[in-house]
C-alpha cells in the first residue's frame, strides 16, 4: 500500500484518497451494521425480521443498482455521480444516526444502498479516467486493499464506537468520512463522460431490482409467517416472473444492462461461481458471527470485533500471496483449493461451542479466512481474463453485480435456514408450543438468547444455547455443501491445463460471429 501511495502523482493523490475513503466506508457500513444489530434491537426494539433488514436492505439496494449506476455515470458524468452518491450517503448516514424507530432505520438503510452504488460506480469510473498504465494498476490495487482493511477492521471499529458512544456513532462516522471525501474531490477530480452512452436500460434495471426485492422479501418473511403464507408465495412467484421478464428484456435489447450471451463461455460461468461461493463460506459469517459472539457468547461489541479480525485479517495478506502463486499453479486450482480449505474451517467452526471464545474460534476462523483469501485475490482478474478482450467491460459489470447482489441474497437465505433449523430443534425439545417456538427460533437466529428465553420461559438457558449450537452445526453442513460443490465446479471449469493460455486472453476465447459484440 505504501508503495502505491508513494508512486501516485502528487496532484492526483487527493482524488485517490477520496475514492479510497468511499471504498472504506462501504464495508464499514456492511460489517458495522451487523455488529450494531443487537444494540439497535435493545434500543429501538423490532421483530427479528425488521432487524434482519438492517443489513439486507443495504445489500439489496446496493447490489441491484450497481450496474445501473455505472450506466448513469457514463451518461451524466463520473464525478457528478460520485459526488452525488457521497452527498446522499453522508446525509442518509446522519439521518440514520437520528433514526427514531426500526422502520425508519430500515428505510434509510435501503436509501443508503442506492447512494453507495452511485459513489462506488462513479468513483471507480473516475479513477480509470484519472490514471493510466501502471499508475492505474497501483490505484486499483490500493482501492482493493482499502476494501480489505474495511472488512478486516470494520467490526472492531464498530465495537469501539458502540462501547464509547453508542450504536448511532457508527452511522455518524459515515457522515464524517463522506464529508472528508467531498473536500478532497470537489475541485480536483475532472469530469468525464462516455460520448457514446445511450442511457439507462430502464426495463432491465426495473426487472432486475424487482427480482431481487421480491425474492429477498419472501425469504426474509417466510420464517416468521410461514413458507406457505400467501404473501411469501406471491413474493417468490413474483420474483420468478420478474426474472423471466429480465431475461427476455436483456436478450432482446440492443444495449443490454447485462449481456447474457457471455454465459456461453464455460469458464466465464465458472468465474461467477467464485463470488457466490465466498458469500456462503465467508461473507455471511461477517453477519452471523457478531450476533453469535454478542447474543449467544455474551461478549461485548469490542471483544466480538477483536475475534472477527481472525476471519478478515487474512484478506490483507493472502490475496497478495495468491497473485504470486499463479506463476506455478492455475488460478482455478488455487481458487478451488482455497474453497476446500474454507470448507474444512466451516466444519471445524460448526463443532465449536457457541459460548466459546479465544483460540477455539480463532483457529477455524483463520482457516476460513485463509481459504477464502485465495479466490478473493484472483477472481477480479479472472472475471475479465476468461472472455475476449472486447467483452471485458461487460464481464466486469456482470461479475460485480453477481458479487454484491449475491451477498444480499445469501444473507437472506442463510438467515432463513438458520431460523428454520432453530425452530426444528426447539420443537423437538418443547413440541407443545408451536407458535411460540417459531417466534423464539427467529430470536435465536438473530443471536437473541434473552428474547428466545422470554418467549419460551419453560426452557433453561442451557437448553436454548444447545438448540442454537445444534442449529448452527447443521447450518455449517449446508454452507460446507455449497462451498465444496462450488470448489468442484471451479476445478472442472477453471482448473484445466489450458487455464494459463485462456487467462492470458488467447485464441480459446475468440468469439464466433453469432456472439461477438463490441462493448463501448
Asked if domains 1-189 and 265-508 share a fold, the reply is yes
Task: Please tell me which residue, 365 or 428, carries the higher pLDDT value.
Answer: 365
SS3 of the chain: helix, strand, coil, percent, to 5: 80, 0, 20
C-alpha span between 121 and 194 (Å, rounded): 14
Quote the CA–CA distance of 94 and 27 in Å, as a whole number.
17
Residue 389 is predicted with a pLDDT of 54
Nearest to 287 by CA among 403, 172, 447: 447
Give the residue-averaged pLDDT of 500-507.
38
Average of per-residue pLDDT across 227-252: 87
Residues 49-71 pLDDT 10s: 788 788 888 888 887 777 777 77
Q: What is the mean pLDDT of residues 68-84?
A: 78
CA atoms within 13 A on the CB side of 186: 7
| Of 230, 232, 234, nearest in space to 242 by CA | 234
Q: How far apart are the C-alpha atoms of 220 and 411, rounded to whole Å?
A: 9
Phi/psi at 76 (5° precision) = -105, -10
The 3-state DSSP class for residue 226 equals: coil
What pLDDT, on the 0 to 100 scale, is given for residue 412?
83
From the number of C-beta atoms within 10 Å of its C-beta (0-12, 13-18, 19+), residue 463 rates as: middle
Residue 364's pLDDT is what? 94
pLDDT above 90 as % of the chain:
12
Confidence of residue 6 (pLDDT cuts 50, 70, 90): very low
Residue 275 pLDDT exceeds 70:
yes
Angle at 394 between CA 390 and CA 395, to 5 degrees: 90
Backbone angles phi, psi at 197, to 5 degrees: -65, 135
Instruction: Check residue 11 and give its pLDDT.
Output: 55
Nearest to 25 by CA among 132, 136, 175: 175
**What is the pLDDT averaged over residues 431-456?**
76
DSSP 282: I
**Lowest-confidence pick of 161-175, 259-273, 503-517:** 503-517
Q: What's the pLDDT score for residue 291? A: 82
pLDDT of 514 reads: 35
CB distance 41 to 296 below 8 Å? no
pLDDT given at position 419: 86
430 in helix, strand or coil?
Answer: coil
Average pLDDT, the chain: 78
Among 229-233, 460-464, 486-490, name the one with the lowest average pLDDT.
460-464
pLDDT tens figures, 280-295: 999 889 888 888 888 7
Q: Mean pLDDT throughout 258-272? A: 76
Is 52 exposed, middle or buried, given 0-12, 13-18 or 19+ CB atoms closer than 10 A?
buried
- At residue 118, the pLDDT reads 86
pLDDT band of residue 117 (cuts 50, 70, 90) is: confident
Instruction: Burial-class residue 77 by CB neighbours within 10 Å (0-12, 13-18, 19+).
Output: buried
pTM comes to 0.77
Q: How far is CA 44 from the centre of its chain?
A: 25
Query: Looking up cell 403464507, which residue turns up?
Result: 229
Residues 6+ apart with CB under 8 A from 439: 224, 455
Element (H, E) at 108: helix 102-130
Tell me the DSSP string of 295-347: IIS---HHHHHHHHHHHHGGGGTHHHHHHHHTTTS-HHHHHHHHHHHHHHHHH
Q: Which residues contact 252 (CB under 8 A, 6 or more apart)?
A: none
Protein fold of 265-508: Growth Hormone; Chain: A; (1.20.1250)
From CA 149, how far away is CA 253, in angstroms rounded?
A: 39
DSSP code, position 197: -
Q: What is the pLDDT of residues 382-411, one digit of tens each?
A: 766 655 555 555 566 677 777 777 887 888
357 pLDDT higher than 70: yes
- With a cut of 70, say whether residue 503 has pLDDT above it: no
The helix-helix angle for 359-376 and 301-312 (nearest 10°) equals 40
Q: Residues in the chain, how many?
A: 520
C-alpha closest to that of 474 among 406, 423, 399, 411 = 423
Question: Where exactly are the structural domains of the chain?
Answer: 1-189, 202-256, 265-508
Lowest mean pLDDT among 334-348, 361-375, 382-396, 483-497: 382-396
The predicted structure's pLDDT at residue 416:
86
CA angle 387, 212, 22 (to 5 degrees): 70
Helices then strands, each counted (H, E), the chain: 21, 0
Cα separation, 316 vs 462, whole angstroms: 38
pLDDT digits 0-9 by tens, 178-223:
888 777 776 666 676 656 556 666 777 788 888 888 888 888 888 7
Q: 410 and 284 in contact (C-beta within 8 Å)?
A: yes
Residue 27 C-alpha cell reads as: 464495508
Phi/psi at 427 (nearest 5 deg)? -65, -30
Q: Measured between alpha carbons, how far is 238 from 210 in angstroms, rounded to an integer? A: 8
pLDDT of residue 341 exceeding 70, the answer is yes
**If you average pLDDT over each of 30-34, 146-150, 301-305, which comes out highest?**
301-305
User: H/E element holding 467?
Assistant: helix 461-494
pLDDT at 21: 78
**Nearest-angstrom CA–CA distance, 184 and 130:** 14
Q: What is the pLDDT of residue 7?
A: 46
The pLDDT tens digits of the residues spanning 131-170 come to 766 676 667 667 767 776 777 777 778 888 888 888 888 8
Four-residue CA torsion sign, 377, 379, 385, 389: negative
Question: pLDDT higher for 319 or 135?
Answer: 319
Q: Which three cell numbers stand for residue 399?
A: 461479475
Better pLDDT: 320 or 495 = 320
Spatial distance between the Cα atoms of 99 and 112, rounded to a whole number of angstroms: 13
Residue 512 has a pLDDT of 35
- Provide the CATH topology of domain 1-189: Growth Hormone; Chain: A; (1.20.1250)
What local confidence, expressed as pLDDT, does residue 272 receive? Answer: 83
Q: Name, of 267-271, 299-303, 355-359, 413-417, the range with top average pLDDT.
A: 413-417
Amino acid at each position: 500500500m505504501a508503495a502505491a501511495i508513494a508512486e501516485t502523482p502528487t496532484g492526483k493523490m487527493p482524488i485517490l484518497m477520496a475514492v479510497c475513503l468511499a471504498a472504506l466506508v462501504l464495508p464499514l457500513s456492511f460489517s458495522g451494521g451487523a455488529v450494531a444489530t443487537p444494540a439497535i434491537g435493545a434500543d429501538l426494539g423490532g421483530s427479528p425480521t425488521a432487524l434482519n433488514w438492517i443489513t439486507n436492505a443495504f445489500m439489496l439496494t446496493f447490489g441491484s443498482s450497481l450496474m445501473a449506476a455505472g450506466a448513469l455515470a457514463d451518461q451524466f458524468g463520473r464525478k457528478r455521480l460520485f459526488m452525488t452518491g457521497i452527498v446522499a450517503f453522508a446525509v442518509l448516514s446522519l439521518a440514520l444516526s437520528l433514526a427514531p424507530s426500526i422502520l425508519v432505520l430500515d428505510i434509510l438503510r435501503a436509501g443508503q444502498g442506492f447512494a453507495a452504488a452511485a459513489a462506488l460506480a462513479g468513483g471507480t469510473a473516475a479513477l480509470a479516467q484519472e490514471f493510466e498504465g501502471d499508475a492505474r494498476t497501483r490505484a486499483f490495487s490500493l482501492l482493493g486493499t482499502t476494501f480489505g482493511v474495511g472488512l478486516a477492521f470494520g467490526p472492531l471499529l464498530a465495537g469501539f464506537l458502540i462501547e464509547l458512544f453508542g450504536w448511532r456513532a457508527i452511522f455518524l462516522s459515515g457522515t464524517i468520512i463522506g464529508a472528508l471525501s467531498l473536500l478532497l474531490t470537489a475541485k480536483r477530480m475532472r469530469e468525464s463522460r462516455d460520448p457514446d452512452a445511450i442511457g439507462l436500460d430502464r426495463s432491465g434495471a426495473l426487472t432486475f431490482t424487482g427480482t431481487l426485492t421480491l425474492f429477498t422479501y419472501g425469504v426474509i418473511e417466510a420464517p416468521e409467517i410461514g413458507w406457505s403464507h400467501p404473501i411469501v408465495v406471491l413474493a417468490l412467484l413474483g420474483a420468478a416472473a420478474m426474472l423471466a421478464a429480465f431475461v427476455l428484456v436483456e436478450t432482446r435489447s440492443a444495449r443490454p444492462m447485462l449481456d447474457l450471451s457471455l454465459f456461453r463461455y464455460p469458464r466465464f460461468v465458472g468465474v461467477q461461481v467464485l463470488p457466490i461461493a465466498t458469500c456462503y463460506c465467508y461473507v455471511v459469517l461477517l453477519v452471523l458471527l457478531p450476533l453469535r459472539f454478542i447474543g449467544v457468547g455474551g461478549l461485548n461489541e469490542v471483544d466480538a470485533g477483536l475475534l472477527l479480525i481472525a476471519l478478515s485479517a487474512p484478506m490483507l495478506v493472502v490475496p497478495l500471496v495468491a497473485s504470486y502463486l499463479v506463476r506455478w499453479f492455475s488460478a482455478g486450482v488455487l481458487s478451488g483449493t482455497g474453497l476446500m480449505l474454507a470448507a474444512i474451517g466451516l466444519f471445524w467452526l460448526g463443532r465449536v461451542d457457541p459460548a466459546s471464545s479465544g483460540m477455539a474460534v480463532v483457529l477455524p476462523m483463520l482457516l476460513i479466512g485463509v481459504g477464502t483469501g485465495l479466490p478473493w485475490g484472483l477472481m477480479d482478474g479472472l472475471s475479465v481474463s476468461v472472455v475476449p478482450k472486447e467483452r471485458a467491460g461487460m464481464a466486469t459489470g456482470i461479475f460485480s453485480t453477481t458479487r454484491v447482489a449475491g451477498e444480499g441474497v445469501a444473507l437472506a437465505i442463510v438467515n432463513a435456514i438458520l431460523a428454520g433449523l432453530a425452530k426444528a430443534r426447539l420443537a423437538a425439545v418443547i413440541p407443545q408450543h408451536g407458535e411460540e417456538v417459531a417466534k423464539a427460533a427467529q430470536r435465536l437466529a438473530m443471536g437473541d438468547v434473552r428474547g428466545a428465553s422470554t418467549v419460551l420461559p419453560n426452557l433453561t438457558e442451557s437448553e436454548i444455547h444447545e438448540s442454537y449450537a445444534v442449529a448452527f452445526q447443521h447450518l455449517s453442513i449446508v454452507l460446507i455443501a455449497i462451498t465444496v460443490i462450488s470448489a468442484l465446479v471451479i476445478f472442472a471449469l477453471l482448473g484445466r491445463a489450458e487455464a494459463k493460455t485462456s487467462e492470458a486472453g488467447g485464441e480459446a476465447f475468440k468469439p464466433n460471429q453469432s456472439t461477438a459484440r463490441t462493448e463501448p
